[in-house]
Amino acid sequence: MGERTVTAMPDRSEARTQAEDAPRARGPAVPGAETALGTALLRLGFLGLVLIVWALAARAAPPGLFASPLAVAQALGRLVAEGRLLPALGASLQVYLLGTGLAIVAGAALGCAMGTFRLLGRTLDIYVMALAATPRVAFIPLIIVALGLGLQAKLLIVFLGAVMPVILNAYAGVRAADPELVEMARATGASRPRILRHVVLPGALPYLMTGIRIGATIGLINTVVAELYTAISGLGGLLAVYGSRFRMAEYLAVVVVLALIGAAVTEALRLIEKRLLRWREA
Amino acid sequence: MELKPELGLRQVGLRFGGRPVVEGIDLGVAKGEVLVLLGPSGCGKTSLLRLMAGLIAPNAGQVTLNGAPPRPGQGTAMVFQSYRLLPWKTVAQNVAFALPDLAPAAVAQRVAEVLALVGLARVADALPAQLSGGMKQRVALARALAPRPDFLLMDEPFAALDAQARELMQMELLRLTGAQGGPGVVFVTHSVDEALVLADRIVLLSPRPGRILARVELPFAAPRWREDPRSHPAYADLRARLWAQLRDAVLNDPQSDFHRAAADLRS
Ligand SMILES: Nc1ncnc2c1ncn2[C@@H]1O[C@H](COP(=O)(O)OP(=O)(O)O)[C@@H](O)[C@H]1O
Ligand SMILES: [Mg+2]
């Protein structure tokens, strides 16, 4: 017995060395899939737990104040069947995706420009940070006075919310460029635009993606805010209607749809990020 | 026979914020020759390479490459201790980065050539994170060789490698640069043994400010990648001499960690 223990030890240490070496080699597909499957199962399990707690809470609450998962699902079906949900979803997605998309493009451009041209960055950065720290709801009356209650006002509210984290993170990413890589590039005789394109901007991409993820979240929040504060429309509008009439099942059905949008966008961004930043794992 | 120096420093001085980093440096390197700058850390070796690459300008004296002040990427290429590969580019793309002025077809051909030269053709599409340290440094070497520079400027390039990889890379470097028409090499190290294995000539530098302490011509016959100079009768003697000078330079440097220790030992 004792002898066997002794011989077992080198084996184990060898196995550990191999495990440490593994990340350097191309990652085997199977353990990755296993982890993904495990994560999916855990997430489903947690969802089941939430549904159970929700169902119990709905049963305990006085009638009319809360709705059970089943009632919410039925309400969701009714909303779709009656043709209320899809037009509202379309209107909200239009405001959300357009406003956030514009914010990503403009924010990335401005943030990168601020990081590249130091004078511009030093001039603007405190204003951007001040604006980012101001609750954007404070601007809504101004926006309504300037743009009215229509699509333009909604887009601006979403844009203003989503653009700030994109600007600030792109700015930080460009400024965090690795000075060693920049020196290497300069030593090859690379021009400033070439260094920007091949060294600085790819290095800023992880920062930018973080900014986009935060911006996309704020954009969704501001979409609902805009639909509540300007001309009532979209999913935010449905929330207002059902909330004021205490139609809890319908109200919660809309909340679930918003949560699903949030989850879908976050997941899509995660996949894009994983693809774009493949070089970081390996 | 006297070779005409093509990369030259005349009475070069450099200061950072009023503090002299190097002073009165006279150096000449010819194409096809390996010059090793040997000295303790802080003596301005990296600064001298930056001067030769045209990344910075001297405060005194002149730096010339083929008669004119050097410009980055024009006739020189650098290799760094930390590899400095772009992590988002493949091996081939990293090498191609040093060839901005070629047409795409010519770039592809030259990249394939130099990758074959350093024995990395089969990992052309791998990302740097997938490579070992020795392979990364071979990619960096291929990137430096790709534009056919007159001079390779190498800043402690093998210091981060394990002993075995370091020795292989030293031989590899001699093979790659020793060929007819190969580039001149300015190789920075603080290892006496590395200097002796690689150099045609060694310049020993003193710290703070960096000055030339000694110049040593090595008697070992080329090609050294076939005959290990360590078996040469003069090797041990040279090694002892260089070590003694290097040790004295460090012990006499008031800012060195070893200065106090030496004083304590003496008292
Ligand atoms: N950009 C810089 N600004 C200020 N001081 C510097 C700079 N670069 C190098 N130095 C100083 O110059 C001296 C020599 O540095 P360096 O050339 O890196 O020496 P070595 O490569 O021999 O270690 C050091 O004391 C270092 O602190
Ligand atoms: Mg150095």
> How many angstroms separate the CA atoms of A104 and A170, rounded?
10
pLDDT tens-digit profile of A174-228? Answer: 999 999 999 999 999 999 999 999 999 999 999 999 999 999 999 999 999 999 9
Residue A169's pLDDT is 96
**Tokens encoding B46:** 């990296």
Residue B112's pLDDT is 95
Residue A188's pLDDT is 96
Instruction: Give the 3-state secondary structure of residue B218.
Output: coil
Determine contact, residues B65/B7, Cβ cutoff 8 Å.
yes
pLDDT for A13 beyond 60: no
> How many angstroms separate the CA atoms of B157 and B146, rounded?
17
CA of B21 to the centre of ligand 1 (A): 7
Lowest average pLDDT, out of A120-134, A169-183, B77-91, goes to A120-134
pLDDT band (50, 70, 90) for residue A18: very low
Domain boundaries, chain A: 67-281
Nearest to A188 among B97, B127, B129 (CB): B97
B189 CB near ligand 1 (under 6 Å)? no
Q: CATH number of B1-75+150-244: 2.102.10.10, 3.40.30.10, 3.40.50.300, 3.50.50.60?
A: 3.40.50.300
Phi, psi of B24 (to 5 degrees): 55, 45
B169 vs B91, more confident = B91
pLDDT for A10 beyond 50: no
Most confident of A27-41, A53-67, A235-249: A235-249
Residue identifier of the C-alpha nearest atom 9 of ligand 1: B47
CB atoms within 10 A of CB A240: 17
Q: Identify the burial level of B167 via C-beta atoms within 10 angstroms of its C-beta, where 0-12 means exposed, 13-18 middle and 19 or more buried.
A: middle
Q: Does B251 lie at the interface with A, CB-CB under 8 angstroms?
A: no
Ordered DSSP codes for B111-157: HHHHHHHTT-GGGTT--GGGS-HHHHHHHHHHHHHTT--SEEEEEST
Lowest average pLDDT, out of A41-45, B181-185, B195-199, B240-244, goes to B240-244
Ordered DSSP codes for chain A: -HHHHHHHHHHHHHHHHHHHHGGGSPPPHHHHHHHHHHHHHHHHHHHHHHHHHHHHHHHHSPTTS---HHHHHHHHHHHHHTT-HHHHHHHHHHHHHHHHHHHHHHHHHHHHHHHHSHHHHHHHHHHHHHHHHS-GGGGHHHHHHHHTTSHHHHHHHHHHHHHHHHHHHHHHHHHT--HHHHHHHHHTT--HHHHIIIIIHHHHHHHHHHHHHHHHHHHHHHHHHHHHHSS--HHHHHHHHHHHTT-HHHHHHHHHHHHHHHHHHHHHHHHHHHHHTGGG--
The percentage of residues in chain A with a pLDDT greater than 70, rounded to a whole number, is 88
Q: Identify the burial level of B134 via C-beta atoms within 10 angstroms of its C-beta, where 0-12 means exposed, 13-18 middle and 19 or more buried.
A: middle
DSSP single-letter state for residue B219: -
**Tokens encoding A210:** 């973080």
Residue A124's pLDDT is 93
Residue A193's pLDDT is 95
Chain-chain contact of B127 with A25 (C-beta, under 8 angstroms): no
Angle at which helix A69-81 crosses helix A85-116, to 10 degrees, equals: 100
Chain-chain contact of B55 with A279 (C-beta, under 8 angstroms): no
The percentage of residues in chain A with a pLDDT greater than 90, rounded to a whole number, is 63
CA of B5 to the centre of ligand 1 (A): 26
**B183 CB-side CA count, 13 A:** 24
Longest dimension (CA), chain A: 86
- Measured from the Cα of B49, ligand 1's closest atom is 17
Phi, psi of A279 (to 5 degrees): -60, -15
Q: CATH number of A67-281: 3.90.1150.10, 1.10.3720.10, 3.40.250.10, 1.10.940.10?
A: 1.10.3720.10
B43 CB near ligand 1 (under 6 Å)? yes
**Tokens encoding A175:** 């400024």
Nearest to A186 among B55, B87, B127 (CB): B55
Residue A235's nearest CA partner among A262, A209, A275 is A262
Residue A64's pLDDT is 73
The percentage of residues in chain B with a pLDDT greater than 90, rounded to a whole number, is 54
**Tokens encoding A151:** 């699509």
Q: B234 to chain A nearest CA, in Å?
A: 37
Residue B49's pLDDT is 96
Domain boundaries, chain B: 1-75+150-244, 87-148
DSSP H or E segment with residue B237: helix B233-251
pLDDT band (50, 70, 90) for residue B190: confident
Mean pLDDT in residue range B13-27: 91
Considering chain B, what is the average pLDDT of its residues? 87
pLDDT band (50, 70, 90) for residue A31: low
Mean pLDDT in residue range B38-46: 89
Q: Does B88 lie at the interface with A, CB-CB under 8 angstroms?
A: yes
Contacts of B80 in chain A (CB under 8 A): 180, 184
Mean pLDDT in residue range B102-107: 93
CA of B155 to the centre of ligand 2 (A): 7
- Measured from the Cα of B22, ligand 1's closest atom is 14
Residue A239's pLDDT is 92
**Tokens encoding B13:** 């001085």
Nearest to B84 among A180, A189, A279 (CB): A180
> How many angstroms separate the CA atoms of B154 and B195, rounded?
12
Residue A172's nearest CA partner among A200, A147, A139 is A200
Most confident of A258-262, B161-165, B195-199: A258-262
DSSP H or E segment with residue B61: strand B60-65
pTM, rounded to two decimals: 0.84
